[in-house]
Structure 1
Amino acid sequence: MDSVNLEVLKASVRWIEGGQRVLLVTVVRTWGSSPRPEGAMLAICEDGSVVGSVSGGCIEDDLIDRVRRLGIGPTRPEVLKYGISADEAHRFGLPCGGTIELVLEPLTRASGIDDLCRRVAAGQLVARSLDMKSGAARLVPAHSTDGVDFDGRRLLTVHGPRYRMLVIGAGQLSRYLCQIALGLDYQVTVCDPREEYTDAWHVPGTTLVRTMPDDSVLDMKLDERCAVIALTHDPKLDDLALMEALRTPAFYVGALGSRRSNAARRERLETYFDFGNGELTRLRGPVGIFIGSRTPPEIAVSILAEVTAVKNGVALPDGLRVEEAKAALDIVANQQTSCTVGARR
């Protein structure tokens, strides 16, 4: 679930408990380019306060003006579409040809937003089904592969931690990486059996386990919405996690290390754990994209940039991969050295 959407829901609960009317706006369909994806939410309080976003800003302004002019009555949900014409698309800041369809839902205590927030806070993945004719909503269990579904009669939205991340190692780099991963809406588990690291671990919002990494992978029952990142530099720990993670549908499996240590890791997995080259192609390492990162925060950004690209199905150019980028730099450096030596002769 988008963390912005959670802020929207929490703000809605506060306003409703304060006796104010609230309009919840949800993006249900987009055509062409769109500033915000399906499922994005915006809450507008009757006093004009706003939390969330459904566009670049112009649509929000129009919706706020609509609330100020018409108020928020006890009416049923309705559908509103922007960007049908080129003039309207230009007016509301939509890209050429872009169209966005919204569901506007007046909220009350009976809307169950408070219950939804409690379930999400408890780590549950929940679907909210809204009947467009009656305005009644109910909460049902959801699957990680579920998404926004709207057929004109019913709107289904999914809320809760849809992606999970297992980080091996509770060192300094892990702290920075986990803090950013939480902001990206991952449910983060950190595994490290070493007391000297776990005793000092303190990143609110993460789950710390002290089991062996291979046991942690098995316990989590990883699916296609999971990422595993090994950061200890210790083969006794990293290899155990990778050995099991590569046998799961996890969308991302990677390990920190130099090009040399990455090559040695692949050789160990192939030799001692009976992994073929085809299976090892799933292993990403050295992890991250090449941005010249040197400090732990920069390395964390590099790693999560690659994870995000893989999650979103974006193929990275070879020039952004750490191994290929550094190899290219080595070639340039060697050429420059050869030219310098040749000039001195």
Structure 2
Amino acid sequence: MDSVNLEVLKASVRWIGRGHRVLLVTVVKTWGSSPRPEGAMLAICDDGSVVGSVSGGCIEDDLIDRVRRLGIERTRPEALKYGISADEAHRFGLPCGGTIELVLEPLTRASGIDELCRRVEAGQLVTRALDMASGAARLLPAHATDGLEFDGRRLLTVHGPRYRLLVIGAGQLSRYLCTIAVGLDYQVTVCDPREGYTDEWHVPGTTLVRTMPDDTVLEMKLDERCAVIALTHDPKLDDLALMEALKTPAFYVGALGSRRNNAARRERLETYFDLNEMELARLHGPIGVYIGSRTPPEIAVSILAELTAVKNGVALPGEFRVEGAKAALDIAADRQTSCAVALRH
């Protein structure tokens, strides 16, 4: 579940609390190209207010018009398809003749959305099971690998943080990185045993721990939906986290530092911590996508861009990464210097 969907649920709770009727719209299936993925949500209040998105805008306009004309009179959920014909695809902005199926659910106080919000904000991963015939919904435990399911009779949606991020170091860069990561819907834990840094840590939505990094990695029991980013520049802290994290199924393990520092780090991990070649190959470093970043906010964007690419299974060309791009720039600079020397002679 992304942070946009959480805003949809919060708005629904707010409107219901004020006595409004609310229509919750969920994308349950797509064919061809679609602007929004399965699980995307939209809430429409009976006064025409809207939060969220299920398409590029045209379907939202049609649904809003429908609510304004007809109100929210239904008491049971219904399934609705858009874009079956070429004319509809064009009208509703569905590219390449795409088709989208939605579930429209009228919400009431009995829908349990307030309890769902509470659980999600508490960091729980929850499945909401909606019975299409009765409109009754139940909240069930969920696993990180669970996904949306819809068979016409029952709709299962998964809510809450799917991915966890462990950040080593509570410095200035970490503040920017963690703020963005929370917006990307990571459950963020920051580990730093240094009092001088943790005393000033104030980033909403994050959990701060003061234990040693290697102990933290072990306690978190990292799985394939976890990432670890070491940002302290202190080998006594970063290396402790990396030596344990590289042995886990975490989908991303990276550390900040120059190319020279990264080479030295790999040598330390191999020599002193007995990591093998396969484990070392999993280490991202220098981390980030090369965007010429210099300030802490820019560096945070660079790092999270690479993290997002890895999470989404996108293979970045070597020259897009910091190490590859800087190596290419060095080669270009050497060639330019050689040409200049040759011209002088």
The TM-score range, normalised by the shorter chain, is: over 0.9
The answer for the alignment partner of 2:174 in structure 1 is: 174
The answer for the alignment partner of 2:53 in structure 1 is: 53
Aligned runs of 1:209-220 on 2, under 5 Å? 209-220=209-220
Q: Which amino acid aligns with 1:57?
A: G
| Shift of residue 300, structure 1, vs aligned partner | 0.2
Q: Deviations over 1:79-133 (max 9, x none)?
A: 1111111111111111112111100001111110011111112111110000111
The answer for the alignment partner of 2:203 in structure 1 is: 203
Task: Out of 61-70 and 330-339, give the one that drifted further.
Answer: 61-70
| Shift of residue 75, structure 1, vs aligned partner | 2.5
Q: Deviations over 1:276-319 (max 9, x none)?
A: 21121111000101111111110000000000011111111111
The answer for the alignment partner of 2:315 in structure 1 is: 315
TM-score with structure 2 setting the length: 0.98
The answer for the alignment partner of 1:152 in structure 2 is: 152
The answer for the alignment partner of 1:234 in structure 2 is: 234
| Shift of residue 69, structure 1, vs aligned partner | 1.7
Q: Which amino acid aligns with 1:289?
A: V
Task: Out of 143-152 and 69-78, give the one that drifted further.
Answer: 69-78
In the alignment, the residues of structure 1 paired with residue 231 and residue 177 of structure 2 have an alpha-carbon distance, to the nearest angstrom, of 10
Secondary structure class of the residue paired with 1:96: helix
The answer for the alignment partner of 2:341 in structure 1 is: 341
Q: Which amino acid aligns with 2:111?
A: S
Q: Which amino acid aligns with 2:306?
A: E
Query: Post-superposition, which runs of at least 4 consecutive aligned residues in structure 1 deviate over 3 A?
Result: none
Q: Which amino acid aligns with 1:58?
A: C
Q: Which amino acid aligns with 1:90?
A: H
Q: Which amino acid aligns with 2:198?
A: T
- Answering whether residue 97 of structure 2 is matched by residue 97 of structure 1, we say yes
In the alignment, the residues of structure 2 paired with residue 55 and residue 177 of structure 1 have an alpha-carbon distance, to the nearest angstrom, of 29
In the alignment, the residues of structure 2 paired with residue 269 and residue 98 of structure 1 have an alpha-carbon distance, to the nearest angstrom, of 50
Aligned runs of 1:152-301 on 2, under 5 Å? 152-301=152-301
- Answering whether residue 62 of structure 2 is matched by residue 62 of structure 1, we say yes
The answer for the alignment partner of 2:328 in structure 1 is: 328
Secondary structure class of the residue paired with 2:19: coil
| Shift of residue 19, structure 1, vs aligned partner | 1.2
In the alignment, the residues of structure 2 paired with residue 34 and residue 289 of structure 1 have an alpha-carbon distance, to the nearest angstrom, of 27
TM-score with structure 1 setting the length: 0.98
In the alignment, the residues of structure 1 paired with residue 204 and residue 45 of structure 2 have an alpha-carbon distance, to the nearest angstrom, of 31
Percent of aligned pairs with the same amino acid: 86
The answer for the alignment partner of 1:115 in structure 2 is: 115
The answer for the alignment partner of 1:78 in structure 2 is: 78
| Shift of residue 65, structure 1, vs aligned partner | 0.8
The answer for the alignment partner of 1:136 in structure 2 is: 136
Preserved CA contact (<8 Å) 1:27 1:40: yes
In the alignment, the residues of structure 1 paired with residue 244 and residue 115 of structure 2 have an alpha-carbon distance, to the nearest angstrom, of 37
Task: Out of 104-113 and 267-276, give the one that drifted further.
Answer: 267-276
Q: Which amino acid aligns with 2:236?
A: K
Preserved CA contact (<8 Å) 1:77 1:135: yes
Task: Out of 193-202 and 226-235, give the one that drifted further.
Answer: 193-202
Q: Which amino acid aligns with 2:243?
A: M
Task: Out of 106-115 and 196-205, give the one that drifted further.
Answer: 196-205
The answer for the alignment partner of 1:22 in structure 2 is: 22
In the alignment, the residues of structure 2 paired with residue 208 and residue 238 of structure 1 have an alpha-carbon distance, to the nearest angstrom, of 16
Q: Deviations over 1:164-198 (max 9, x none)?
A: 10000011110110010011011111101111111
The answer for the alignment partner of 1:31 in structure 2 is: 31
Q: Gaps (5+ residues) in structure 2?
A: none
In the alignment, the residues of structure 1 paired with residue 330 and residue 287 of structure 2 have an alpha-carbon distance, to the nearest angstrom, of 19
Q: Which amino acid aligns with 1:151?
A: D
Preserved CA contact (<8 Å) 1:90 1:96: no
Secondary structure class of the residue paired with 1:294: coil
Q: Which amino acid aligns with 2:76?
A: R
